[in-house]
Amino acid sequence: MEKKEKTINYVLGVLLLFSFVFLVGQNMSVMTGYATSGTTTSNVTISKYLAIAFSDDLSSGIQFGTVNTLPATNVNATENYAGGSSETLYYINVSNDGNTPIDICIGANDPLTSSALDVIGVGNETYANSTSTTSTIPLVGNEVALTESYVKSGDAVAVGSQNYYRFWLDIPAIQPSGDYNNTLSFKGVSTGLACGAI
């Protein structure tokens, strides 16, 4: 009987060893560090955000004052040289929280018109602009006539900076007396885009 028990123990030992080897072999992929991998994409679209704000003096309107003698050429708007060192106080701020430079567009709705419907041609109202200002910048020699449609008046003005303006008016000798008004419009567009209609 003892031989029979030894044989059974031997067979059970072999089976146990075989089972252990088989179990370890089956789990080798876990034990040897095999891994799988894959890829995927991520995506985001950031919209352009832009905003402009007028200086207080530009918001208050462009005043040419009272003109007593005609003809008059290059009549200065009242705030053209009103800064501490004769800088202009007419400017547009490009918002600090924007994320793109902008082009600024300017246009007049109509000629300067009196209550009697007399007009001063829109081309008689001129402006010059610059991204800086001194006693000579923007310069009257760089003036451009206003039109009744939007035109670019500042290109690629950086976020957090300003576009400065000066305005002038030419009045012919035969112009009837009266108070004349029109409205100027400004628009900021992403650099390179067209201004569009007023």
What is the DSSP track for 105-154?
A: EEEESS-EEETT--EE-GGGEEEEEESS--SSSS-GGG-EE--SS-EEEE
Lowest-confidence range among 12-21, 44-53, 169-178, 185-194? 12-21
E strand or H helix that includes residue 91: strand 90-94
Lowest-confidence range among 78-82, 97-101, 131-135, 145-149? 97-101
> Rounded mean pLDDT of 37-49?
88
Q: What is the pLDDT of residues 134-179, one digit of tens each?
A: 999 999 999 999 999 999 999 999 999 999 999 999 999 999 999 9
Whether residue 48 has pLDDT greater than 90: no
- The CA distance from 96 to 25, in Å, is 65
Per-residue pLDDT band for 97 (boundaries 50, 70, 90) equals confident
Tokens of 75: 């009549």
Tokens of 183: 């409205």
Whether residue 1 has pLDDT greater than 70: no
Tell me the HSE value of 136 on the side-chain side, using a 13 A CA sphere. Answer: 1
Tell me the HSE value of 169 on the side-chain side, using a 13 A CA sphere. Answer: 25
From the list 196, 169, 186, the residue with the least C-alpha distance to 76 is: 169
